[in-house]
């Protein structure tokens, strides 16, 4: 396997650089001795560049991230994170027990296809029972440094089974650099698409009971969308969508932007 890879490297380098390889000796990588011995001008840099073109990054891709290319990968690996199983089933139940009585009184909005979100109802909440306050405290501790001012109201977005969030960037007037969301009741696929180059994109698996944190580059330079049930695929696998409730914390907008 390794020797095939080495041959592949050689072929690639010969093709790309029009070099003729005369000798090429593979040494065991594990003992960190030089990998190549040859009478050509192939440098370690060439090998590295080849390797990093073949795979998104030398860093291993997390299981929840499927990036279109290594630019998207490197943008997102530093600015987006998913914590799977951030809350337990009991904690999910506790949040839903507090939210459901209120949400049930609202109608799902379905009429305006132009809107960014379709098939949803939403609210904001400031006061929580003590168990849920401590869950949200955990979210806030992991998402926001202590000096950051959080929005006092937590946003609750309830998407029905067929609901969808179309690609958008949250308004900079109303939200700072960080968006942290718990996904309740259903797994979903979030698609990030670079605002200026829509070939640069990534799908993100938001598992039920996970927490995602989107900040900086992923928040400002990528549109985010939550795919509808028909489109919900991740790494070629169908992802069943159901009603999904997200509990989203954001920080205050940058004060200069908010005033303008």
Cβ nearer to ligand OGA, comparing 75 with 158: 158
Cβ nearer to ligand OGA, comparing 27 with 110: 110
Contact positions with ligand OGA (CB under 6 A) in 220-259: 224, 226, 246, 248
CB atoms within 10 A of CB 194: 20
Say how far apart CA 207 and CA 117 lie, in whole Å.
20
Say how far apart CA 246 and CA 230 lie, in whole Å.
20
Contact positions with Mn ion (CB under 5 A) in 134-173: 170
3-state secondary structure of 44: helix
Cβ nearer to ligand OGA, comparing 13 with 182: 182
Q: Which residue among 46, 170, 203, 228 contacts ligand OGA (CB under 6 A)?
A: 170
3-state secondary structure of 54: helix
Cβ nearer to ligand OGA, comparing 67 with 226: 226
2 sits in which H/E element: helix 2-17
181 lies in the site for ligand OGA, by CB under 6 A: yes
Helices (H) and strands (E) in the chain, counts: 7, 12
Instruction: State the nearest-atom distance from the C-beta of 45 to ligand OGA, in Å.
Output: 41
Q: Which residue among 72, 95, 99, 157 contacts ligand OGA (CB under 6 A)?
A: 157
Cβ nearer to ligand OGA, comparing 13 with 179: 179
From residue 167 to residue 206, the character string flagging contacts with Mn ion as x (rule: CB under 5 A) and all else as - is ---x------------------------------------
- Write the DSSP assignment of 204-225 as a string of letters: EEE-TT-EEEEEHHHHHTEEEE
Say how far apart CA 126 and CA 70 lie, in whole Å.
40
Residues that bind ligand OGA (CB under 6 A): 157, 165, 170, 181, 224, 226, 246, 248
């Amino acid at each position: 396997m390794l020797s095939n890879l080495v041959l592949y490297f050689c072929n690639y380098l010969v093709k790309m650089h029009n070099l003729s390889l005369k000798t090429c000796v593979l040494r065991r990588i594990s003992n960190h001795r030089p990998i190549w011995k040859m009478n050509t001008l192939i440098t370690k840099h060439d090998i590295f560049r080849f390797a990093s073109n073949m795979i998104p990054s030398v860093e291993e891709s997390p299981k929840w991230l499927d990036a279109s290319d290594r630019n998207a990968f490197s943008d997102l690996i530093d600015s987006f994170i998913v914590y799977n199983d951030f809350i337990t089933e009991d904690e999910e139940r506790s949040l839903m027990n507090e939210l459901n009585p209120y949400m049930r009184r609202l109608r799902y909005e379905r009429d305006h296809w132009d809107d960014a979100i379709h098939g949803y109802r939403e609210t904001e909440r400031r006061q929580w029972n003590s168990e849920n306050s401590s869950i949200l405290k955990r979210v806030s501790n992991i998402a926001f440094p202590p000096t950051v001012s959080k929005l006092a109201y937590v946003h609750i977005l309830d998407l029905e089974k067929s609901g969808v969030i179309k690609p958008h960037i949250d308004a900079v007037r109303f939200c700072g650099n960080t968006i942290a969301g718990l996904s309740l009741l259903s797994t979903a696929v979030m698609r990030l698409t670079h605002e200026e180059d829509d070939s640069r994109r990534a799908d993100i698996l938001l598992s039920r009971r996970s927490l995602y944190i989107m900040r900086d580059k992923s928040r400002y330079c990528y549109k985010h969308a939550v795919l509808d049930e028909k489109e919900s695929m991740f790494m070629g696998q169908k992802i069943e969508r159901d009603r999904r409730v997200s509990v989203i914390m954001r920080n205050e907008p940058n004060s200069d932007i908010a005033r303008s």
